[in-house]
Amino acid sequence: MFRFNILVFAGCTAVLLAGQACTDLNEKTFDVIPTDQFGTTPEQQAALIGPLYNSLGEYFGNYNELNATTDEQIVPTRGGDWKDGDNWKRLYTHTWDPITDNNQFNGRWNWIYNSITSINQQLGTITDENTRAELRALRAFFHYVAMDLFGNVIIAENVGTGSPDQKSRTEVFNWVEKELLEVYPKLSETVGGAYYGRFNKYVVDMILAKMYLNAQVYTGTPQWQKSIDRLNTIINSGKFSLSGDFFDNFKVQNQGSPEIILATPFDNSKRGGMNIHMRTLHYDHKLTYNLPASPWNGYATIAEFYNTFTDQDARKKMWIVGQQFDAAGTPLKDGELPLVITPEIPAFEMPAGPVARLAGARSQKYEIQRNNTTNDQSNDFVIYRLADAYLMRGEANFRLGKTADALADINRIRSRAGVQAFSALTLNDILAERGRELAWEYHRRQDLIRFDQYTRAWQFKPASQKFRELFPIPKDQLSLNPKLKQNPGY
């Protein structure tokens, strides 16, 4: 027999997902429940799903590196720093190799399918219909991610030891759609509170809208109107609204944003992993924000992307450029030179020195937590938010020839940013607006592919082959499952 307090961790996880903290771990035993009896009531079964959302919390960690395959994020070599066997250069120039870079892709594959396996194991013990629906939606989401990244993948509906069949991208698309539509009626309409960071109807609406928006890529058949229908449900629900300040969505305590549809909760002491500031800031930004350690001076954006923001655009403040200062306001130096961050990056591989250390605009989109005691921050990472829903609906309407409706949605987002409304639209305008609004939220690869821009040339990257729109099936998985076939081109 085990005391009830062994379940405190699961309970704390569920509470943390609700935006709260579990701070009293002292044992208070009011009852004793054998482990084989816990999970027999709907309330107990719902408590068991909290730890399964930990895998969703790894979304940030699994996507931040893959974003270096786009035009909005670069990780240049600065002397010996960030050389890493030219891993970052291969990602950025779309020259990754299935053998050399196996760990890069195998890690993402394992994240996806280990998460699915954990969900399937729990589904075997869950009888409450609403809880089962939520878990099936979460499982479908991970299949959607697999389909998006790798194309022809496996559908894992049960725990098994055999070699599962590989399914076509269209088959996976149809299965994910079927799963989400089947569970939809049993999902909650509650937003926030106990459902913050969890799957409800509106999260599923957003996943379906994303799938339909990209259906032509996934299946060869566009489904613009279906995307609009799902987005209408979100927008017309009255459950969400645009934050008055764009940056409120990304502040240190951002769980109260009315714009967030789905976020993964982080806490600098209770749930680590949100460390984008360490990846992007200059070493001496430690003195600006009173950080406990020097940042790693890596991630940046190229001038071509930075220059898509006008000076009137409030969102331009997401980038750090110019003279930097310490916490007292004293100008910082890099050696003997003023510490001035420049948007221009002279080369992908730069010799050691201040030019390399200062090159490239850095991101402060997620508020940097001052006087922090750890290298992790307490900003929740936003996966889906209302502004994206408006931009998606605007794009889908534009593709259907409904330009007036498209302008209304896209100009709503531009208005908040303080920039002049569009009087006319092109697809390039829409893609650029999505870039300005959603930079470093990890939608860019999907967007570039949908607009047929992912393989074009940009600074330091020549035009790449069409097959690079899919990542390779990891060689480790090909070895484990003889039914898997490598994606064409690899």
Residue 333's SS3 state is strand
C-alpha dihedral sign at 234, 236, 238, 243? positive
- Work out whether strand 77-78 and strand 349-350 pair parallel, antiparallel, or are unpaired: parallel
Q: Is there a contact between 87 and 103 (Cβ–Cβ < 8 Å)?
A: no
For every residue of 4-64, DSSP letters joined together read: GGGGHHHHHHHHHHTT------S---S-B--TTTTT-SHHHHHHHTGGGHHHHTTHHHHHT
The model's pTM is 0.91
Q: Looking at the domain 101-268+384-480, which fold is it?
A: 1.25.40
Q: At what angle do helices 201-213 and 224-236 cross, to 10 degrees?
A: 150
pLDDT at 250: 98
Alpha-carbon distance of 5 to 81, in angstroms, equals 46
Cα–Cα nearest to 468, from 5, 28, 95, 176: 95
For the chain, 490 residues long, the average pLDDT of each consecutive 10-residue run is 29 37 41 53 74 94 97 97 98 97 97 97 93 97 98 93 92 98 98 95 99 98 98 98 98 98 96 97 98 98 98 98 98 96 98 97 98 98 98 98 98 98 98 98 98 98 98 97 97
pLDDT at 245: 98
Task: Report the Cα–Cα distance between both ends of the chain, in Å, rounded.
Answer: 53
Domain coordinates of the chain in residue numbers? Answer: 4-38, 101-268+384-480, 276-379
pLDDT at 101: 97
Looking at the DSSP assignment, which residues form a beta bridge with residue 461? 458
- Residue that has been written with the tokens 């992007």 in this structure: 280
Greatest C-alpha distance within the chain: 70
pLDDT at 10: 38
**DSSP class of residue 193?**
G
Residue 267's SS3 state is strand
